[in-house]
Structure 1
Amino acid sequence: MPRGIGLLILATVLWGGNYICGRFLADALPPTLLNTIRWAISTVLLAGILAVNKKSFPLIANWKPFAILGFLGVFSFSTLTYLGLHSISASQAGMISAGIPIAILLFTPLILKERIRVKAWIGALVSVAGVIVLFQGKHAAASSGSMLGNLEILLSCFAWGLYTVLGKRYGKTTDPLTLTAGAAFYGTLFSALSCIGTVHADSIHMTGTAWLCVAYVSTFASVGAYLAWNAGVRTVGPGRAAPYINLLPVWTVVFGVILLGEQLSLVSFAGGFITIIGAVLASL
């Protein structure tokens, strides 16, 4: 297996673990506090990597792109993901995350003015149909909480899609590592502000395992996955790398079933499969 492809697969595995840890931490930390702790640690690590590579960290000069990306990709995406994992399974959330490439597809012509092929639009429609089937599956008799969880994960996909497209625009003048570190810094600030008045001491129930999960999402699922993905993209090229993001929901389902003992109905499985097929078609 080529080294670059191995790195891309490793990144999706590490990102898949984020959903598992998020589900486990649902009862240990409020989503806003979890996100604040996670990205505060990640910001320190990313700033350290910048320092080691003797790169500047223009937090004031580049505050606008950093703040926009931090709000979308760090605060909105991660907080919505952790909120959704309070009421739906990691497997279900992972399958809905197959909509991320579709969100990128929708925002690309609007923001970057790039033409999208017909095959990609067909893939988008197939993927949307899969999400609709998915919503009817595991929670056919859905409670308001589970339906809200589905919506929160779906909105997180749109937040990440917008973050990715804008990141490509801002990346023309700033390297990816600096851009990610800046987004992490401002995203942490937004997350910390959201904790005011919403986090109470009696909502924190940390255990040794919970701390291990926090350590994982702050390092491997953030910095580690980022470095592996970007190294893989540099090796195989962005066009060849793009479809590998569709492995994310696959790993999430596998980990959810094995590690959390989650069950999937046949309708849910079918919906997730259709969603992933549509996302792969859109990425070709």
Structure 2
Amino acid sequence: MPSKSHSFLDPSTVLLLTLPPLFWAGNAVVGRLMVGQIPPMALSFYRWLFALLLALLIVGPDLWRNRAVLRSKWKSLAVMGILGVGSYNSLQYVALETTTPLNVSLITSSAPVFILLIGGAFYKQTVGRAQWIGAMLSIAGVALVVAKGDLAHLTALHYAPGDLIMLVAVFLWAIYTWELRQRPLGLAPMTSLAAQMIWGVLSILPFMLAERWIGGQTTHWGGPVWLALAYVAVLPSLLAYWCWGSAVGKVGAQIPSYFGNLAPLFAALLSWLFLGETIHWYHLWAALLIFAGIHVALNARQQPVPLEQEL
């Protein structure tokens, strides 16, 4: 597929590409703010349940018209929904219990390289020398975040649990992205997302119930929780997805991937404003390594892999 020209980046397209990483960074900050207010599985469940209800108002008729496709492709939709909606987002909220929104965003920024490596390992995609160099740079950036700037932490296994959980989440997201690419369903993007949300919500439900009835974690319902749910259900879910899909339709997949990497910068700013968290030197170096790795890896590809970002 030929690369689209940068001339397509008019102000409206730039806005479409800038809003999603801002909303996704806000999602990480909200998840951190809600620690102690609503358990992570409950936050994930209600986020996607409310997003699904809103999506059904828009694409419900289209889902009904395509019910034969939904029945025939239910296994693919189930895998995508469990990986992309259920697992990734739930693990992100669990990670935020013990790590920061900035660390989450930086680790998430390595997703394009995970996608590249998994494509080479499991989906018969060729990975050249430049891709390996890019992968090593980004992995070094992730290691710097996990080690908190001290390599002794790596050898002593002094990891923040949330950082390791987020690495697992990004790995599952990379598999989801390849499944999304390898199994075209013939559905409109929002219709496909709504169908995946159904499976995602169903997959989160038993863990949310276990969190409540076995773990004894409860939700403190009130204004802050309702505002948080309204935010995560609308902005980083439906609106961010619509903006991203519209922009990719204009400029292709490669240019948006760079805008997606604005998320750590927005996360740092929002964490400083709302959480009072400090930005350390190793965050800046990690960001440079991750972005350099993605730049090397992507620019070496003749046909870039569609790098779908967080739903």
Q: Higher mean Cα deviation, 151-160 or 44-53?
A: 44-53
Which structure 2 residues correspond to residues 129-148 of structure 1 after superposition, within 5 A? 129-137=140-148, 147-148=160-161
- What percent identity do the matched residue pairs reach? 27
Deviations 1:214-239 (A, max 9, x none): 11101111000000000000111123
**Equivalent runs, 1:53-132 vs 2, <5 Å:** 56-58=65-67, 59-132=70-143
Q: Quick one: which of 272, 275, 278 aligns to 1:263?
A: 278
Q: Is the 8 A contact 2:137 2:293 kept in 1?
A: yes
How far apart are residue 33 of structure 1 and its match?
1.2
Within 5 Å, which residues of 2 pair with 1:1-284?
Answer: 2=10, 3-51=12-60, 56-58=65-67, 59-137=70-148, 147-171=160-184, 173-200=186-213, 203-284=218-299
Amino acid at match of 2:136: L
Amino acid at match of 1:15: W
Q: Does 140-149 or 61-70 show the bigger shift?
A: 140-149
Cα drift, residue 197 of structure 1: 2.5
Aligned residue for 2:97, secondary structure, equals coil
Q: Which runs of 5 or more structure 2 residues have no equivalent in the other structure?
A: 1-8, 300-311
Give the counterpart letter for 1:169 in structure 2. Answer: Q
**3-state SS of the aligned residue for 2:38?**
coil
Q: Distance in 2 between matches of 1:46 and 1:104?
A: 27
Q: Which moved more, 1:121-130 or 1:49-58?
A: 49-58
Conservation of the 8 A alpha-carbon contact between 2:62 and 2:191: no
Residues 1:257 and 1:273: Cα distance change in structure 2 (over 3 Å): farther
> Structure 2-normalised TM-score?
0.83
* Preserved CA contact (<8 Å) 1:33 1:195: yes
Look up the match of 2:5. Answer: none
Change in Cα spacing, 1:54 to 1:205, as seen in structure 2 (3 Å) is closer
Equivalent residue letter for 1:185: I
Instruction: Give the partner amino acid of 1:87.
Output: T
Cα shift readout 1:109-153 (whole Å, capped 9, x = no counterpart): 345433234322211100101111112227887999962111011
CA change 1:21–1:199 in 2 (3 A) is: same
TM-score normalized by structure 1?
0.90
Give the 4+ runs in structure 1 shifted more than 4 A: 52-55, 138-146
Report which structure shows greater RCO (CA 8 Å, sep ≥6).
1
CA distance in 2, matches of 1:74, 1:132: 26
Deviates more, 1:10-19 or 1:200-209: 200-209
Is the contact between residue 50 and residue 233 of structure 2 (CA under 8 Å) also seen in structure 1? yes
Return 5+ residue gaps in structure 1 as ranges: none
Report the 3-state secondary structure (helix = DSSP H, G, I; strand = E; otherwise coil) of the residue aligned with 1:198: helix
Is residue 147–residue 159 contact of structure 2 (8 Å, CA) maintained in 1? no
Q: Which amino acid aligns with 1:175?
A: A
1:173-196, CA deviations, whole angstroms, 9 ceiling, x for partnerless residues?
A: 333222211111100000012123
User: Equivalents in 2 of 1:138, 1:118: separation in Å?
Assistant: 27
- RMSD over aligned CA atoms reads 2.5
The 3-state SS of whatever aligns with 1:35 is helix
With over 3 angstroms needed to count, the CA separation of the structure-2 counterparts of 1:49 and 1:60, relative to structure 1, is same
Q: Name the structure where helix makes up a greater proportion of residues.
A: 1
